[in-house]
């Protein structure tokens, strides 16, 4: 009987949009939103409303919890500025960024993909650096790293002229824009693949780092007793008109947090091979242990477009 009354209530509400019962809210809202000229907007918002309403019913959301959620959203906005993007970080720590990345790459997540999440720290204008050059722009501790990367198409043919952005945290666990101790654009560079599809550069072996925990993302991690660490990685963004922009990360294989990345970014495909060098290093000024890193990136034909930079 109650279900029948609810159905009648919903039907009446659809005619007048006067809400008689909680069940009536969803169809009324969907009806109100159903006439947008933009069909994709209608589709996305209808699904969003259905899932949000179902979520509130599923957990019997209390008014205090609703306030808490709104406060968190507001604080995500307030914590975002030119050098930090809390919205990206929050999406990352709930696995949403990785989900969207996998849905849009590697045939809707059905196959392995070379793509990984962009993260909150990409900057648009990394300094152009000649092949073989260093991205160390101020005194940076850590073992030297000599990287040799190749970009090919899906058939293994080299792609020349790909602009490859590289960025990484310093071994103290901070990107240069988070750390006044590092020079502007330290550990960032933009390389262009040569006729054989290769780029080469010198850096330092990356170290793992904690994501910033002073905002709502950190509050959530503490409440869930999760550690804030990312396994050490290098970020790459490959761009060439005619090819789908490749956004990815490659992880250091001996990192203790490889299997518990706080932002769920590690796939098998993206675990790199970082080899301890033997004998004299490629450059004479290297002291102590040094590492070699080789990796092949595959870019698919498609549309080249750059993401909006999460920070300036």
Binding residues among 117-146 for Fe ion as defined by CB under 5 A: 119
Minimum CB distance to Fe ion smaller for 119 or for 171: 119
Closest distance to Fe ion from the beta carbon of 25 (Å): 41
User: What is the rounded distance in angstroms from the CA atom of residue 189 to the CA atom of residue 129?
Assistant: 6
Least distance between Fe ion and beta carbon 230 (Å): 6
Query: Which of these, 152, 142, 229, 210, lies nearest to 182 by C-alpha position?
Result: 142
Nearer to Fe ion, 102 or 159 (CB): 102
Positions 103 through 122 that interact with Fe ion (CB under 5 A): 119
Q: How far is the CB of 121 from Fe ion (least distance, A)?
A: 6
* Choice between 118 and 162, CB closer to Fe ion: 118
| Cβ nearer to Fe ion, comparing 10 with 116 | 116
Angle of helix 2-16 versus helix 22-32 axis, rounded to 10: 30
* Residue 26 or 182 having the CB closest to Fe ion: 182
How many CA atoms, within 13 angstroms, populate the side-chain half-sphere of residue 163? 16
Residue 115 backbone phi and psi in degrees, to 5:
-90, 150
Q: Which residue has the closest beta carbon to Fe ion?
A: 119
Q: In the complex, what is the shortest distance from the CB of residue 177 to Fe ion, in angstroms, rounded to a whole number? A: 12
First to last CA, the chain: 59
Minimum Å distance from CB 289 to Fe ion?
Answer: 23
Residues linked to residue 172 through DSSP beta bridges, in sequence order: none
In the complex, least distance from residue 21 CB atom to Fe ion, rounded to whole angstroms? 48
Q: CB of 257: closest distance to Fe ion in angstroms? A: 12
Taking the C-alpha atoms of residue 151 and residue 191, their distance in angstroms, rounded to an integer, is 12
Cβ distance to Fe ion smaller for residue 79 or 88 = 88
| Nearest approach, Cβ of residue 234 and Fe ion (Å) | 8
The size of the interface with Fe ion (CB under 5 A), counted in residues, is: 1
Least distance from Fe ion to the Cβ atom of residue 192, Å: 23
What string marks each residue from 265 to 304 as x (binds Fe ion by CB under 5 A) or -? Answer: ----------------------------------------
Residues 6+ positions from 297 with CB-CB distance below 8 Å? 114, 149, 150, 151, 152, 164, 236, 238, 246, 248
233-239 and 163-167 strand pairing:
antiparallel
Site string for Fe ion, 190-219 (x = CB under 5 A): ------------------------------
Answer yes or no: are the C-beta atoms of 145 and 203 closer than 8 Å.
Answer: yes
Q: Please, what sign has the CA dihedral across residues 54, 59, 63, 69?
A: negative
Query: Are 162 and 195 contacting, i.e. CB atoms less than 8 angstroms apart?
Result: no
Judged by beta carbon, residue 159 or residue 311, the one nearer Fe ion is 311
Binding mask 48-87 for Fe ion (x = CB under 5 A): ----------------------------------------
| Residue 185 CB neighbours (<10 A) | 19
Give the residue with the Cβ less far from Fe ion, 23 or 86: 86
How far, in Å, are 117, 123, 294 from residue 250 at the CA level? 11, 18, 10
Q: Based on CB atoms, which residue is closest to Fe ion, 197 or 206?
A: 206
Binding site for Fe ion (CB under 5 A): 119
């Amino acid at each position: 009987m109650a279900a029948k009354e609810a159905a009648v209530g919903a039907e009446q509400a659809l005619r007048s949009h006067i809400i008689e019962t909680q069940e009536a809210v969803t169809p009324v809202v969907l009806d109100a939103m159903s006439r947008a000229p933009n069909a994709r907007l209608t589709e996305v918002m209808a699904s969003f409303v259905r899932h949000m309403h179902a979520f509130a019913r599923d957990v019997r959301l209390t008014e205090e919890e609703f306030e808490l959620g709104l406060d968190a959203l507001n604080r995500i906005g307030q914590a975002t500025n030119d050098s930090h993007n809390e919205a990206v970080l929050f999406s990352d720590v709930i696995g949403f960024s990785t989900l969207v990345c996998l849905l849009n790459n590697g045939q809707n997540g059905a196959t392995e993909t070379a793509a990984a999440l962009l993260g909150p720290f990409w900057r648009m204008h990394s300094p152009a650096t000649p092949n073989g050059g260093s991205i160390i722009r101020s005194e940076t501790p850590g073992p030297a790293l000599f990287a040799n990367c190749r970009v090919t198409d899906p058939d293994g043919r080299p792609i020349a002229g790909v602009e490859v952005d590289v960025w990484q945290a310093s071994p103290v666990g901070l990107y240069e824009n988070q750390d006044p101790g590092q020079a502007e654009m330290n550990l960032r560079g933009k390389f262009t693949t040569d006729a054989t599809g290769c780029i080469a550069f010198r850096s330092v072996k990356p170290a793992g780092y904690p994501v910033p925990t002073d905002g709502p993302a950190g509050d959530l991690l503490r409440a869930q007793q999760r550690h804030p660490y990312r396994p050490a990685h290098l970020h790459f963004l490959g761009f060439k008109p005619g090819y789908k922009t490749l956004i990815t990360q490659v992880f250091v294989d001996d990192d203790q947090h490889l299997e518990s990345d706080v932002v769920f970014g590690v796939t098998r495909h993206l675990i790199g091979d970082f080899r301890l060098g033997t004998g004299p290093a490629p450059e004479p000024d290297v002291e102590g242990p040094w590492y070699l890193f080789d990796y092949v990136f595959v870019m698919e034909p498609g549309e080249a477009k750059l993401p909006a930079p999460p920070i300036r």
